[in-house]
């Protein structure tokens, strides 16, 4: 699967139904030897006005947390402690 096929898909957490963002706004951690995606790194804005005066932290989601890749969405299964 090419990145261009993933970039407009919305990432949704199965456990709480929360939208986490679009793949196109995320970074990917890739194993350079095998070409496999290891993690999706999702930016999360914190603070006043979602980052205008706040800060940004990043959340790494293991590729193994992905349960389904659909036409418009990617369903992951993580909890707050992940």
Q: How confident is the model at residue 11 (pLDDT cuts 50, 70, 90)?
A: very high
User: Yes or no: is domain 3-76 CATH 1.10.10.10?
Assistant: no
Closest listed residue to residue 65, CA positions, set 4, 20, 24, 25: 20
Give residue-wise pLDDT tens across range 33-72: 998 989 999 887 665 555 555 556 888 999 999 999 999 9
pTM as predicted = 0.73
Quick check: helix, strand or coil at residue 50?
helix
CB 50 within 8 A of CB 43: no
Print burial letters for 11-49: b (CB count within 10 Å at least 16), e (below 16): bbbeeeeeebbebeebeeeeeeeeeebebbebeeeeeee
Tallying the residues shown for the chain, one arrives at 82
């Amino acid at each position: 699967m090419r990145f261009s096929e993933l970039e407009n898909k919305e990432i949704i957490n199965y456990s709480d139904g929360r939208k986490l963002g679009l793949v196109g706004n995320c970074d990917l951690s890739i194993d350079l030897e095998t070409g496999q995606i290891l993690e999706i790194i999702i930016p999360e804005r914190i603070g006043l006005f979602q980052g205008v005066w706040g800060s940004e932290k990043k959340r790494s989601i293991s590729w193994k947390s992905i349960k389904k890749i659909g036409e418009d969405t990617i369903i992951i299964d993580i909890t707050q402690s992940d």
